[in-house]
Amino acid sequence: MISEQLMNKLTDKDLLKPAAYINGGWVYSDKTFNVTNPSTMEVIATLPELDREATQNAIQVAESAQRAWAIKTGKERALVLRKLFDLMVANADDLATILTMEMGKPHAEARGEILYGASFVEWFSEEAKRIYGDTIPGHQQDIRIIVMKQPIGVVAAITPWNFPNAMIARKIAPALAVGCAVVSKPAAETPLSALALAELADRAGLPAGVLNVITSTQSAEIGKEFCENDTVRKLTFTGSTEVGRILMRQCSDQIKKVSLELGGNAPFIVFDDADIDAAVDGAMISKYRNAGQTCVCANRLYVQSGVYEEFAEKLAKKVAELKVGDGFSEGVTTGPLIDESALTKVQQHIDDAVNQGAKVLIGGDRPEGEGAYFNPTILTNVNKTMLIAKEETFGPVAPLFIFETVEDVIEQANDTEYGLASYFYANDLKKVWRVVEALEYGMVGVNSGLISTEVAPFGGIKQSGLGREGSKYGADDYLEMKYVCLGQMQ
């Protein structure tokens, strides 16, 4: 079932079917689960609850489809992906509507996510023709050395609810471009965006079985099948570090390749010499985008003592302008959190900080009424013993720490097991390079609060993950390298 309310909002009603997508067809089941709109808590779809056996079947289908897909030329695959990109852009409004309904982010932001997701499809449609190998001068006169790159095979992809379109697009685009087939399992909270993408891939001419979407709430069981089935040659995952650890452990028996894009605890540093207005703008986008539910969201804001008051005051002014509400309402900037447990975590972080002496500058509570909403919040007087300093909050809370010296802030910023994104604002060039080199993170935004783009390598170090998505490096995660030692022919 897809709710009438959702269907009525779509221009193209064929974009959604209440089914999983396997072998180019729609698969139904008597067993089902519900998908809920977090803004209203209403059920918007009922989808098939697929199990491990169905997943096994999808993997088998993907295996034979992959062989035929891999022998196509790069240009042939490129044309299909280009068509998919065009369809995503042409259907951006409908795709955004589906996304807002299942996840809650404001429609304009959801549209931005669709275009962001599409940008990976465009990028890798171009890269499909450029999977270059190498020649290496031989180590003997009669030897030539060639390095070729080949698709890894069947890829399993597990994606989260916070970017229901872009995270799956960012994985399938490089995989399909280089000749892999994909079996994907989107988060049970937000499977509709993945299904709509599958429908568009179908329309773009992607052969049956090359992309499959499993719908299910049995993520642990399906994850096990992905890890234990030896036809799956690679697992790519975006989600929590906790689940990433389980998956990596499960993949170790088969030494299966893994790409993991996991949690973050991003520091956002404002030095005395920064342009404070620019830093406030950067903090707004980095912290409050997607209601703070982004792995690259600023989680700890360190402000140097000379500008602390000014920064806090200016940030509070901007935060007061945010409008919380249903993602379809005019002027709304901040949608709901994904569910009750997300609200509980945010409240727990605030309560723990306040109990240890933090002050609520703005927000700190939920607005009245239905829906998983939380008011955008700023905490001052925060210190490193608080929960909020150590864990990813994944909500619209900005804790402001005060610091005195460069050494001190670098030490605090690096004092975490995470290493995904980091940000700082400063103008002194010597300091800029020093801090860039010292931050133990996969990504550093300097005087910029928004670092995500398909042209740059997205990914983390330490316990934030393995591998990179996007950019000229992004295809590598889906390729195997083969070295050919070519001796003399008779």
Ligand X SMILES: O=C(O)CCCC(=O)O
Q: Please give the positions annotated as active site.
A: 261
Q: Is 294 in the site for ligand X (CB under 6 A)?
A: yes
The listed partner (ligand NDP, ligand X, none) that binds 402, CB under 5 to 8 Å by sort, is none
CB nearer to ligand NDP: give 10 or 158.
Answer: 158
**Cβ atoms of residues 152 and 234 within 8 Å:** yes
Among 238, 334, 380, 471, binds ligand X (CB under 6 A): 238
Measured from each CB, the residue nearest to ligand X is 452
452 binding ligand X? (CB under 6 A):
yes
Closest listed residue to residue 268, CA positions, set 90, 143, 452, 450: 450
Distances (CA, A) of 74 to 82, 128, 178, 199: 12, 5, 7, 22
- 372 lies in the site for ligand NDP, by CB under 6 A: no
Residue 379: CB minimum distance to ligand X, A: 22
The reply on whether position 23 binds ligand NDP by CB under 6 A is no
Which position among 16, 458, 459, 474 is part of the footprint of ligand X (CB under 6 A)?
458
End-to-end distance of the chain based on CA atoms, in angstroms? Answer: 67
Min dist CB 157 to ligand NDP, Å, is: 10
288, 394, 424, 425: residue in contact with ligand NDP (rule CB under 6 A): 394
Which CB, 394 or 441, lies closer to ligand NDP? 394
Restricting to residues 210-229, which ones interact with ligand NDP according to CB under 6 A?
217, 219-220, 223
Select the residue interacting with ligand NDP from 246, 354, 402, 446 (CB under 6 A): 246
Kindly state whether residue 241 participates in binding ligand X, applying the rule CB under 6 A: no
Q: Which is nearer to ligand NDP, 223 or 449 (CB)?
A: 223
Q: Would you give the distance in Å from CA 432 to the centre of its chain? A: 28
| Number of residues near ligand NDP (by CB under 6 A) | 24
Half-sphere exposure of 156 toward its Cβ, with a 13 Å CA cutoff?
A: 29
Alpha-helical segments (H) within 204-299: 219-228, 241-251, 276-288
Q: Which long-range contacts (CB under 8 A, 24 or more apart) does 384-390 make?
A: 384/412, 384/415, 385/356, 386/349, 386/352, 386/353, 386/356, 386/358, 387/348, 387/349, 387/352, 387/353, 388/299, 388/300, 388/349, 388/350, 388/352, 388/353, 389/300, 390/265, 390/416
Q: What percentage of the chain's residues is helix, strand, coil (to nearest 5)?
A: 40, 20, 35
Residues that bind ligand NDP (CB under 6 A): 158-162, 187-189, 217, 219-220, 223, 238-240, 243, 246-247, 261-263, 295, 392, 394
Residues that bind ligand X (CB under 6 A): 162-163, 238, 261, 294-296, 452, 458
